[in-house]
Each structure stands twice: as C-alpha cells, then as structure tokens.
Structure 1
C-alpha cells in the first residue's frame, strides 16, 4: 500500500516481540530508507550482518547504498551552511603557512606612505601574514579587508597598485575560507587594476579548484605569471608542482631547477627535486639530494619532514621516525613562526601505528592530541586522531573529531571521507547502545576469540 510509516510502526512492534526476526528487520530498513531515515535504516542493515541470515554481499551493497544517500544529504547540508557569512572561517594555520611558504615574503611595496592609513594597514597585514603564526592569518585577513575599504573609499587612481595587492591577498584568503565567488571577484579586480605574477598564481589556484579535471586554465595562469615576471621563482615552482602532479617529470625538473636558480634560498625546489628523483626510482640519488638540502638548510624542518615521507614510502619506518623527530624539534625551535605546522606530528603518529604495539599506539595518540592543541583547525590531525579513538571504542570523541574535520577540510574527497566516518561511527554507537544488538556483538567477539583468531 506504500504506507511506509505504518510499516515502520508494525515492524517495530514485531521486533519488540522477536528481535532476531531478520526478515522483519530488513523490511523496516527498506521502509526507513524510503522515508529518508537513513541512520535508522543503516542500524538495521548493520544488525543483519551480525545475524548472518542473508548473503553478506547483498547486505553490504544495501548498506553502502544507504550510507551514500546519507553522506550526500549530510554533505549538501554542510555546503549550504558554509555559504553563510558566519561560517566563512580560515582553514588550518598549518595549511596556510605551507601555502604562503611557497612565496618570497612581500613585506613592503612601492609608494608606501606612512601617513596613509590604508598603506599602514596593508603593510601591517603583509608583515603579519608572512610572520606565519597561529592566529596571525586571521589578523592579516582583517587588516587586508580594512585596507580595501579605505582604498575603495579614497577612489584615487594613484593607489591602484596598492589596492590591487590588498585585493590579491584578501582574495586568496577568501579562497581558504571556501568562498570561491568572493575570491574570484577580488583577484580578478586586482588583475584589472595591476596585473602581477602573484595575482596570476593566485588566480591559477582558484581556476584549478573550479575545474580540477582541466588544468589548461591553471597552466595558462602560471605561464602568464612567468611572462609578466620571468624572474619570479614562485611562479616556476608552482608550475613545476603542477607538472609533477601531471607526471611531466622532465618538465617539472626544469622548472624546479629554474626556481632554485632564481632564488637559491628557497628551500622547496631543493626538496621537490629530491622527491622527483625518488619518483624516478633513483633512491640513492634522492638521499644525496636530501643530504645536500640539509647542509644548505640545517634549520629548516621541511627537509627532514619530506625526507621522512620518502623513507615512509620506501618502507624504512625506523629511519623515517628519526627524521620526523628531527622535524618536530626544528619546528618547535622556529616557534612562533610556522613552517610545517603539525604535519611532522601527524606523520610520526602514522608511522607508529603502521607497526602496531600498545606502546606505539599510546605514543601516536599523545602526538596527535598535542598536534590538536597546537593547531585546532587541522582536519588532518582530527581525521587521524579520530580513527585512533574509533579503534579505542571512544565513539563520542571519534564522532566529534570526524565531524569537525568534515567542516574544516577544503579537499572534497577528504570531506566526503570524514562524513562517511561520522555516519558509520554513529551507527556503531547505536549498535552498542541497543542491549540486544550489543549482546550479539559480544557473543560474536567471544566466538572469534574462542576460535583462536584474536581481535
């Protein structure tokens, strides 16, 4: 008759009489799915997998279908909320420091007038941003916005170049607040007023995000940046990064070398050339390049951290762990300036859990909790820590961490993954909260232990 509400009512009554009635539980799951009550539907489907009365493949397929519907519903709600002005917040200081670390600090500009309040605000904003501290990016963002307002009110063409710089930076910070429309409008206006290499690099970033599958616009923007300023090390570096990701290793190597030649004090081209050599299967040469980078940049935490990533991929966890320790020490010595932020803490924790022992697990949790204190907006920390909390059956903490990660990350794939973990953890919590189902889980675990498989 299509009366799904009544189906749920009757099947619920039936299950109160006989909680093991699998066919009835399946019918209730189907009705709840039809009603859009996906969490309730997933609970029943998950319970069916405990009973073993149905083909596991069909049950898993049904659970995956319902989970995908719930994830889509959750994602749409989050994206709608993110469009509200009150939800437009900057992402992790770790990620911001990493991005702005790929540019030569711009601490002043031509025609600076200390009597012009807009100029003073713009200079303070640049200095604060490139200081790369935990809360400095928010302060810089506010100062850029104030400077823009004053330049606009003054409506003086002689300020156009400075106005454009403020728009550039405010625009890219809007991008990191997941406000793509404002970001595009501000950087476009900056290019209109005073096109610079940096404005085209920023625009390339925005265009790449708008159409991730098509890198032509991104490359066009980077090529334009180099055309405007052939001596801009960052432009070559970002173009090399794109070529590296696109597997044009030869082209990437040339651009990394050019970036290094133009700015010998820029650490990242040295690191990426070493990583590229590893990608080519030349591990020994890669180690040599990292050694050279370490000699040139002995205080840069970036060198041991990226070397640790290569060693992790190579399977040498012990050596990788030592490199992450070195990176953590150097990062702490650099404080309050952020270079890599909490990335070495996360990397070290990941290596520890790759070789599971009680001691490693405890140390990994401690590292991630410390990282969460150091950068409360890091989605990477929250996702990794949440998964460890899940393994400890600390479901409430895990759900909170996954939920926060889903809001904080800009990466679409990571956002969906975090939401899936939120929803799956909620179902797991409901399973344990149901006395009958909790008992079934314990019986199943006991039978596995009795069979000698362990948990």
Structure 2
C-alpha cells in the first residue's frame, strides 16, 4: 500500500501552539533575525528564540524550502536548553532528510535523537517508516513494537501508531508473498475455503442461489440450472463443485451486450478472484457493480461488503471500515454485514466493538432462523463477554434453545457452539459439536483439524497437539493449516527455530495464493507478537497485545 503525501504535522515535525505562518516569515522581525544570526543575542530570551526558530523551520518544511528549514533548526539547536528540545530538533531534521530522499542521513539523525531520548515514540515511528521504505522490515518491526510497548507503558495514545503498525505488517507480508509468487506455481482453488465462504452469507445473491434459498430477482431462471453458458452455467459449476470453471462462464455473461445477469456474474467472478488471491481483478468487478446505475442498493451493499473483505486482507482497517459502513448505509437489513465486520474485529482482538455490531445486526435482522450464523456468533461472544463480566447463563440458555429449535444450519454454527460448550458442558460436549460440524460439512477435514486444536486449548499439551496435527500435514487441502499450527505450538514451547521452520513449511504447502497469503500474514503476525511480548516484558508491562489476526480460527 503506497503512503499518501504527508504534511509536516503528519510526519511529526514538532510544533508549538503558536505557529508562525509564511506571512510572518516574509514580513519578519529584523531585530530578532539579527539576534538569531548571532549579531546581537543580548537580551533575547533563549526559550522564545528556540520556539521561534523551531516554528519557522516547521513553516519552511510546509513551504518545501528544506535548506532554509535546516538553517532554522540549526539556529534552534543553538538555543536548546534541554535534552527534550535537542531530541525534538533532531527528529525534525530527520524528517527533512527523509523528505529530500537522504534516507541514510535521516536514519543517522533519528538514531542521534534516540540516544538523547530513548523513549521518543514519534522518532521510533519515523525510523520504522523509513526502514519499511528501504525494505528493512525486521528493523522496522523492532522500532514499531518498541513504540507500541512504550505507548502502553506510558498509557498514552499516539496518533498514527496503530495505522503505521498495520501498514507495516501488511507490506511485510505483501513483499514476502511477492517473492514466493515469483518462484512458486500455485494450483487450483481451495474447495473447502470456497464452500466455507459461500456458507457465510444469507443475503448475498450468489450464496442464496448456491444454498437453494429464494433467489434475488431476476435469478429465478438461473436457479433452475438448465443453461449451458453464461451466469446460469456458472452457478451450475458452483453447485457441482467445479469452482474453477465458473469465471469463464461469468466472462461470457459479462461480455454479452443484452446480458440479463451481468451484475450477478460480476459478483460471482469477483468472489472467486478474491478467493484465488487476485486482488485487483476482484476489486475491478466489485467496483463495476458499485458504479452501475442500474444496480439496486441491495446489490451495491453486497458488493461493498465483499470489497471490505478484500481490503481487510490486503489493505488498512480504515479502508475496510469505510466499505462496511457504505454497505450498511445502502441496506441496513443486510445481516451479512454485521457478521463479517464482527469477524474482522474479533480477528484483530477487538471483541467488545464486535459484540456491539452483532447486537445491532441481531436487532435489525431479528429472526435467528433466517440468519443463524449472525445470531449464533452474537450470542456466543455475548456468553464469553458475560463469563468475564457478569452472569453468562442467559446467553447460554439462548444457545441451548437455538440447538433445540434446530437453528444451526451449517458447520460454522456447530463450531461456534462448541466453543461456548467448553465453558459450561465440558470437553466431551464441545468435541461432539466439532464432530457434528465435520458431519454437516460433508466430512471436511478442516473441522477434524479444528477439533484437534480445541483439544489443545483444553488440555494445553503442545507436544500431543503437534503429534495429532502431524497426521494432517501431508493432506493437499488442510496440510498447510496443520503445518502452520504445528509451528504455532513449537513457538508456544519457545522452540523458535522449529516454530518458524514449520510456518515456512505451511507456506510451501499452500496450493492457492489465498492460502499462502493467510500463512504469510500469520507468520508476520507471529513474529510481531513474539517481539511485542519481549518488549512488554522488557518495559515491565503486564498485558499482552491482541493478535492482529486470529489465524487459529480462520
């Protein structure tokens, strides 16, 4: 993701509350200028002189007059009375060197500032950004994790820190993935992933057709499944599990001048491209729907939702949140929005805002029989929250009633229910639900693997978990997931070499770009989390940071 052009404030040139404008500089005060040049310093207040020089330097940066800015910072340095002031000027000089392309000098200057003031968070962020531009991701991660730990230690919010962290992790993973793509040929789509994706929607027209639910108009004819080409043929392929063949039929539909199903074809092809790791192609199809004057608000809402999911994997949280908001604005009763937005938040370690979203969704889409996954997830997270803060019995009773009413319509519902049962009904009841998830899915091995992970969560025996996971490591569909979690277990035992070796094996075993991306991002997150753990320990902070993505429950 490319960085936007920044103003001096955004690049953290330090300013006081009474900034001098360009007009102030041009009109000037001759006596002060003479004093600052050293011609007559008698009677000039040093603190005031420092602030004026610093502020004038900052103004010159805004005007892109970098030579003049450095001169003013030199003058400010001569009037600096504290180590904090000197560190501030070094930060600002570093920003100028960065802006003029002298990254080596910028890094040297930031290092000087940190020698004077080791806990200077803004300088750590700046140096991290420079190292990221240079492709020095480990050095960048070292600084950004130090900045995060210090912000927790000091109990302060630092503007730009979270965005800088997210951007670093995404670009680190992107760069690593590009190197892998240059040497590895990926195979077909992960069929288990496609089926799981389709099961995650109730309002999306593609999933409704695939599930056999009442279709969006004008899809009634497409639901009959007797066509040989175009979108109806693509849906036949989806129902028969021939997912790779669907995009070609979609292309025929899209290129037909009097196409009846152009929007549906764009949505289906965009979804398959997303799952195949083709970001640009997926966004092009989804944007075509959003920009189509004939598309209904409901259809555009579905496109914005899937665009949010694409951006969540490749872009920033801010861009993702904006698309979720647009999807809701167009169609508030789109239950899928609240479920998938909550999944993104939970994956980022933010369960409380996720619960608020799910509760809003359950209020707007109140029938659990129509939207089972939304309600099961909402009540499950409510149960976990109440178990920590109050009495979880009400949420537990709701889940038991859902089971009695046969609300669970797919393996994901049983998986969520299993997690809740661990707290109340014990291991056997929870593991039975994982078995049910496997059965309902048609025997997908992923749910057998998740059962193994649940057993580890209960028994906390990494060596036994590694042994159980090793039975799946050669499986073409779930082997990459098994290898990844084996690496995760080794890391939990502080066997770092073995841990990262298995994380690399997980990437090598990935047959699709999407799977490889998840594994690479997971590895980057693991590296960051371990670094954060060390930094927090070093600074005596007794809380652990949330994982950016919970790859264990992908």
Shorter-chain TM band? 0.5 to 0.7
- The structure with the largest alpha-carbon Rg is 2
Unpaired runs of 5+ residues, structure 1, are: 1-65, 129-135, 422-455
1:389-428 pair list within 5 angstroms? 399-405=501-507, 408-410=516-518, 413-417=521-525
How many corresponding residue pairs?
333
Choose the corresponding residue for 1:68, options 131, 138, 147.
138
> Which secondary structure does the structure 1 equivalent of 2:518 belong to?
coil
Q: Greater relative contact order: 1 or 2 (C-alpha under 8 angstroms, separation 6 or more)?
A: 1
Check 1:393–1:223 CA distance in 2 against 1; reply closer, same or farther (3 A cut).
Answer: closer
> Over residues 345-379 of structure 1, what are the superposed CA-to-partner deviations in whole Å (9 max), with x where a residue is unaligned?
2432422551x4xxx843x2343234445663465
Matched, 1:176 2:275: yes
Give the TM-score normalised by structure 1: 0.59
Correspondence for 1:188 among 272, 287, 294: 287
Say whether 1:381 aligns with 2:482.
Answer: yes
Correspondence for 1:81 among 148, 172, 179 = 179
Residue number among 197, 207, 211 corresponding to 1:99 in the alignment:
197
Does structure 1 conserve the Cα–Cα contact (< 8 Å) formed by 2:246 and 2:269? yes
2:307 corresponding residue in structure 1: 203
Matched with 2:468 is 367
Give the aligned partner of residue 296 of structure 1: 405
| Shift in alpha-carbon separation, 1:376–1:401, aligned structure 2, 3 A | farther
Does structure 2 retain, via aligned residues, the 8 Å contact 1:236–1:259? no
Deviations 1:193-230 (A, max 9, x none): 54514223212222444221455412333214516xx4
Once residues 303 and 310 of structure 1 are traced to their aligned partners in structure 2, the CA distance between those partners, rounded to angstroms, is 11
* Most deviating of 83-92 and 409-418: 83-92
1:416-438 per-residue CA deviation (whole Å, 9 max, x = no partner) reads 146789xxxxxxxxxxxxxxxxx
The alpha-carbon deviation at position 326 of structure 1 amounts to 0.7
What residue is the counterpart of 1:286 in the other structure? 395
Contact 2:506 2:519 in 1 (8 A): no
Residue in structure 2 matched with residue 117 of structure 1 by the alignment: 229
- 1:384 to partner: Cα distance: 1.7
Which sections of structure 2, spanning at least 5 residues, go unmatched?
Answer: 1-135, 142-167, 203-207, 511-515, 530-554
- Residue 145 of structure 1 deviates from its aligned partner by 1.6
Question: What displacement does 1:389 show?
Answer: 6.1
How high is the TM-score relative to the length of structure 2? 0.49
Kindly tell me: are residues 239 and 181 of structure 1, through their superposed partners in 2, closer, same or farther at Cα, counting changes over 3 Å? same
Distance 2:383 2:498 in 1: 44
Instruction: Report if aligned partners of 2:189, 2:275 keep a CA contact under 8 Å in 1.
Output: yes
Separation of aligned partners in 2, 1:89 and 1:258 = 41
2:63 match: none
Q: Is the 8 A contact 1:249 1:276 kept in 2?
A: yes
Per the alignment, residue 275 of structure 1 pairs with: 381
CA contact 1:122–1:143 (8 Å) conserved in 2: yes
1:147-186 to 2 correspondence within 5 Å? 147-153=249-255, 155-159=256-260, 162-186=261-285
The alpha-carbon distance between structure 1 residues 96 and 414, as it changes in their structure 2 partners (threshold 3 A), is same
CA RMSD, 1 decimal: 4.4
Higher share in helix: 1
- Give the alignment of 1:244-283 within 5 angstroms: 245=351, 247=353, 249-261=355-367, 263-264=369-370, 266-280=372-386, 281=389, 282-283=391-392
Residue in structure 2 matched with residue 328 of structure 1 by the alignment: 434
